[in-house]
Amino acid sequence: KQEVTQIPAALSVPEGENLVLNCSFTDSAIYNLQWFRQDPGKGLTSLLLIQSSQREQTSGRLNASLDKSSGRSTLYIAASQPGDSATYLCAGDTGNQFYFGTGTSLTVIP
Amino acid sequence: DAGVTQSPTHLIKTRGQQVTLRCSPISGHKSVSWYQQVLGQGPQFIFQYYEKEERGRGNFPDRFSARQFPNYSSELNVNALLLGDSALYLCASTPGIDYGYTFGSGTRLTVV
């Protein structure tokens, strides 16, 4: 069974800092990997999708990478802002099921 | 374009009752999947449907069932509700395997 771990579970940083969120999965047989943001009590907002043939994706201040051989993905957030405060979830797609991590709760302090 | 829409947004039910949750995918998306998210945890996969056929089922009891209609909308049914069924139920749609998933805002179910 695929298990997805996210480290750290919680992170608090001052505004402007660059940060890295980590995601690891036990089974490298995933197809795509997607990073989401979730605000309290809300649904999931897609941030970045790394498709099966890709290793990296960038959108604005966000960059995500995927290394299937090691079973790891990282989400890099540059110049963090208070509006980035949320829970960040990674999810591996096996083709017919998404396996989610438990998330990293990020707080950016003004 | 409308995103993935779910109804109702909030629901309170009593133990033992039955509930039906609804999801309308993004236009053109033929695959719908359902997830349960308990407070403080990541979403857990319940079902996936593609072209009205079940393509995947997570580790949930038979009290959970779902179906997909010809217009690709979907319903999730939960019978004999337990307190532990209280959660945020999320629906996601995708046009296909290489396109990622778009999630709705969820239905918050509270069982009392």
| B25 in A contact zone (CB under 8 Å) | no
Sign, CA torsion B49/B76/B25/A89 = negative
Gap between the Cα atoms of A61 and A33, Å rounded: 18
* Residues B43 and A44 sit within 8 Å (Cβ to Cβ): yes
Gap between the Cα atoms of B24 and B43, Å rounded: 19
Contact B102 A46 (CB under 8 A): yes
More confident residue, A52 or A72: A72
Q: Let me know if B1 is exposed, middle or buried by CB neighbors in 10 A (0-12, 13-18, 19+).
A: exposed
More confident residue, A29 or B77: B77
The confidence score (pLDDT) of residue B31 equals 94
Q: Percentage of chain A surpassing pLDDT 70?
A: 100
Show Cβ contacts of residue B8 under 8 Å, excluding neighbours closer than 6 positions.
B21, B107
Asked whether the predicted pLDDT for residue B99 surpasses 80, the reply is yes
A82 φ/ψ angles, rounded to the nearest 5 degrees: -55, -30
* Residues A61 and A78 sit within 8 Å (Cβ to Cβ): yes
**pLDDT band, residue B103 (cuts 50/70/90):** very high
| B70 in A contact zone (CB under 8 Å) | no
The confidence score (pLDDT) of residue A56 equals 97
Mean pLDDT, chain B, as a whole number?
A: 95
Which of B35, B57, B97 should one mutate to test binding to chain A, selecting the residue with the greatest count of A CBs within 10 A?
Answer: B97
More confident residue, A95 or A60: A60
Asked whether the predicted pLDDT for residue A95 surpasses 80, the reply is no
Interface residues from chain A to B (CB-CB < 8 Å): 4, 31-32, 34, 36, 41-46, 49, 51-52, 89, 91, 93, 95-103
Residue with tokens 């438990």: A102
